Structure 1
Amino acid sequence: MNRLPSSATPSASSRHELRILIILSALMSFSSISTDMYLPALPTLVSDLHTDIGRVELTISSFLIGFSLGQLFWGPISDRIGRRLPIAAGLVLFILGSFGCAGSETIGQMLGWRVVQAVGACAGPVLARAMARDLYARERSAQMLSLLILMMAVAPLVGPLLGGQILAFWSWRAIFLVLTLCGVAALVGVWLLPETLPPSRRSTVPLRETLVSYLALARDPRLLIYAIAGGFYYGGCYAFIAGTPFAYVDYYHLSPEIYGFLFGANVVGLMVLNYVNSRLVVRFGSERIFRFGSWIAAISGVVLAINARSGFGGIPGLALPIFCFMSVSGFIVANSVASALASFPRQAGAASSLVGAMHYGSGVLSAAMLGWFADGTPWPMGWIVGAAGIGCLITALLQTRLAPALTLAVETA
């Protein structure tokens, strides 16, 4: 149910909703721009910071560590004091972290500032999801999350292209300076965002009890199964994000600019299927579309693994299955998040934080595994994405069979 003021006229309500969507999509984009924009520069960082591929790939893992753990903090805070102030505080940390990355002289400094950047960056996405849950019920929430992802997909579409151009004319440090300016602009614009959590609906649970509430949420199958399935999928996504710069630029010798275009093609597919999902989810239901997307993720992941191992198809042999895998984010992410949060309207911030931490935590593992098993070929990326797709599908199918019985057990406990 839409919770916008009933006294608003249809046109005023539509403009108000559009403004909220634009602001929330910008906030959700910070997870993407913080990584996607500097991807073309990863090979350059190896030489400039006098390190190796494995340690440079840890700049993605360190970001994901801060991003996943930070969400566990912002969600409960926002449930108590509202959404706007925590978002502003997060943006300040993002600005400091981005500026610190720009001035890093060693890989250790870069890793540390990436954690700071991530702790700040995660406030936007996690609280944007909670705001969508504040305003809308389950199916409408999934629809609005798809529209949010569709709109914010401009960031990963433009990010690698812009990063490649900045790298061509300046350096990787300028990329982080641009991110600093993005944070400043968002901080100025956040004051246009209305507060979606009125005092009457705020949590009164003491923060010291947050850990207990997280443990309770983590044991609840209504959230856990969807979070695990989404976590598998995110693991595959971050194996792609960390692996393709070296697979395309180092192994197949593509220029950073061409890499940006290949990366952007995946985002176009993601945008299209998010739009399709926003049109179909009310008719077919979020769970059915989620399972369909899981099947596609599993099949395309297996094809990618086979091609990466055999070398079949060269660059197209990698790019086409990756395109299919990444595109079905439009069917998997919004629907799994909306389904996970549907049963927790009074704990939307904490539930969103836990789901996000599990999703990005899986990215920490997959990006780290990519560094551990790096052999100079696309094979490690291929088998990690393939395993992630299979895990997503198996968990989605288990949800279909087990969730009703487990939910009944929770309700009667």
Structure 2
Amino acid sequence: MKNVRRSVPSLGLIITLVGFPQISESIFTPVLPRLQMVFAVSANRAQLTMSSYFVAFAVGVLIWGQLADCFGRRPAMLAGIGVYLLGNVGLLVSGDFRFLLVSRLIQAFGASAGSVVTQTIMRESFSGVTGAKVFARTSAAMALAPALGPLIGGLLQTYWGFRSVFSGLITLSVIVGGYACCRLPETRQRVDQVSRISQMQVIKRLIGNPVVWVYGLLIGGINGVLFSYYAEAPFIFIRHFGFSVVQYGWSGLILAGASLLGAVLVNHLLTWWSPEQLISWGLLLSVMAAMMFVIVTYGEQPVLILISIFLTFLGLNIALPNALNRALVGYEDVMGSASGWFSLGYYLLVSGMTFGMSCLHNGVITTLPWYVMGLSVVMLVVYVKVVPRQVDVIDKDN
């Protein structure tokens, strides 16, 4: 079998590819109340455009991960972007809510290639402390992109109507597809033969590893908290506090600031602390801030609420890049398939958590902070109970 020298994609391209699915997830949030009115559906049904996105996304990461192993990273990525473009066109021409929902599923299925294939490229191109720092920077983009989504969606809706959001997504898909077509190298070492990988063996390896389960819970849980916030926040800030759509969009920069500061702290603190220690401290900060979130929400002070949200997501953004970097150590020989199955699991968890938030939606603004605090506590407890012990066992064996 012929081996070729692999090229490493630029950080700018990686950030673009990992960011466009995130924007697509959250750009809907400021238009949810508008979609509810235009299509004459309940708020809970309007929120299905968020939770259903992750179902199709979860299926997509599995399929694109396997296709990336079989045919290469570049073909899988370009095909995914093509499907993503098709879904965006469907959103633009949708005339009823069902067609809109189906188009949203197609969009999510295609966009998922940007997640799983890019993470596969990153894991095989960077390792060790360098890998942790690259994941920190791209994790900032993964959090920054959905934070910008509400602002972009709010501005487009305000000046050109809610369908301009879909036109904007079509433009984004064309730009990203052109960029990837011109600049994305093939990073898989063997490119001249279809890989024969036993998916059952990959599944058994993943299921039998408790650390993989815990990191899946963390990554899914952190993203579940993020997108539960995006599903519920418009009804809190726009409906309850009377924010305009654009004002709500600007509030997303709070999360952007948390993601950027988290990335800076991770890059700095990795010099002294291990990734496992950073995850523990990040989760602890998120729990404490979530408690503050609960308390200040009862006082109905928007400024204090936004501060508590910033601190909560700062802690989560310290934990997330380290969890992403450590999750599949030891699976380099089947990275595409392992990434696909692993991502399937945690995106199903994200979908379940986002759907859970839509089920709990009752117009009471304290529901979200209690939900965020509960999830943060669970993640911290499970992590400190399992992962440090597994690391100790590995150290003793070595």
User: What's the TM-score, normalizing by structure 2?
Assistant: 0.92
Alignment map for 1:349-388 (pairs within 5 Å): 349-388=336-375
Report the more deviating stretch, 258-267 or 53-62: 258-267
Counterpart of 2:290 in structure 1 is 301
> Which residue is 1:142 aligned to?
132
Alignment check: 8 A CA contact 1:301 1:388 kept: no
Residue 327 of structure 1 pairs with residue 314 of structure 2:
yes
- Mapped to 2, the partners of 1:202 and 1:285 lie a distance apart of 38
Counterparts of 2:130 and 2:224 in 1: how far apart (Å)?
Answer: 27
DSSP 3-state at the match of 1:328: helix
Q: Which residue of 2 aligns with 1:11?
A: none
- The alignment-based identity, stated in percent, is 22
Count of residues paired in the alignment: 394
Alignment correspondent of 1:226: 215
1:43 touches 1:53 (CA, 8 Å); kept in 2? Answer: yes
Q: Which moved more, 1:318-327 or 1:150-159?
A: 150-159
Q: Give the CA deviation at 1:358.
A: 2.9
Q: Does residue 54 of structure 2 align to residue 64 of structure 1?
A: yes
1:278 pairs with 2:232: no
- Local SS of the residue matching 1:375: coil
What is residue 390 of structure 1 aligned with on the other side? 377
Is the contact between residue 26 and residue 152 of structure 1 (CA under 8 Å) also seen in structure 2? no
1:6-25 equivalences under 5 Å are 20-25=10-15
Taking the aligned partners of 1:201 and 1:298, their CA distance within structure 2 comes to: 49
Contact 1:297-1:325 at 8 Å conserved across structures: yes
In structure 2, the partner of 1:99 is 89
Question: How has the CA–CA distance of structure 1 residues 307 and 151 changed in structure 2, closer, same or farther, with 3 Å as cutoff?
Answer: closer
In structure 2, list runs of 5 or more residues that go unmatched.
none
Compared CA separation, residues 235 and 158, structure 1 to 2 (3 A): closer
Which residue matches 2:170?
A: 180
Superposed CA deviations along residues 206-225 of structure 1, whole A, max 9, x for unmatched, are 4xx42452243122123222
Q: Once the 2 structures are TM-superposed, how far is the Cα of residue 92 of structure 1 from its aligned partner? A: 0.7
Asked whether 1:122 is paired with 2:112, we answer yes
Deviations 1:84-112 (A, max 9, x none): 10000100111011111122222212211
Per the alignment, residue 199 of structure 1 pairs with: 190
1:235 aligns with 2:224: yes
Q: Where does residue 82 of structure 1 map in the other structure? A: 72
Shift of 1:289: 0.6
For residues 324-380 of structure 1, what are the alpha-carbon distances to aligned partners after superposition, in whole Å with 9 as ceiling and x for unaligned?
122233311110011112221112222322332333222211221122121112222
* C-alpha distance in structure 1 between counterparts of 2:323 and 2:343, whole Å: 11
RMSD (Å) for aligned C-alpha atoms: 2.5
Please identify, of 223-232 and 127-136, the stretch whose mean Cα deviation from structure 2 is larger.
223-232
Partners of 1:64 and 1:393 lie apart in 2 by 23
Whole-Å separation in 2 of the counterparts to 1:322 and 1:77: 38
In the TM superposition, 1:140-179 aligns within 5 A as 140-151=130-141, 154-179=144-169
Q: How far off is 1:152 after superposition?
A: 5.4
Say whether 1:341 aligns with 2:341: no
Q: Do the aligned residues in 2 keep the contact of 1:68 with 1:361 (CA within 8 Å)?
A: yes
Can you give the 5+ residue segments of structure 1 that lack an aligned partner in the other structure?
7-15
Cα offset, 1:238, TM superposition: 1.6
For the Cα contact (< 8 Å) 1:49–1:106, is it kept in 2?
A: yes
Offset from partner CA, 1:40-68 (integer Å, 9 cap, x none): 11110110011010000011011011111
Matching of residue 247 in structure 1 with residue 230 in structure 2: no
Contact 2:148/2:256 (8 A) holds in 1: no
CA distance in 2, matches of 1:64, 1:406: 35
1:402 & 1:106 partners in 2: Cα distance? 52
8 A contact 1:95–1:117 mirrored in 2: yes
CA 1:259–1:187 in structure 2 vs 1: closer, same or farther (change >3 Å)?
same
CA distance in 2, matches of 1:79, 1:283: 36
SS in 1 for 2:47: helix
Query: Which sits farther off after the overlay, 81-90 or 368-377?
Result: 368-377
Cα distance per residue 1:169-212 (max 9 Å; x no partner): 11111101111111111111112111111117988334xx4245
Residues in 2 aligned to 1:317 and 1:369: alpha-carbon distance in whole angstroms: 25
1:400 deviates by: 3.6
**251-260 or 274-283, larger mean C-alpha shift:** 274-283
| Contact persistence 1:237–1:363 (CA under 8 A) | no
Residue 280 of structure 1: how far off its partner (Å): 2.3
**One-letter amino acid of the structure 2 residue matched with residue 80 of structure 1:** C
Match of 1:268 in 2: 257
Change (3 A) 1:268 1:401: closer
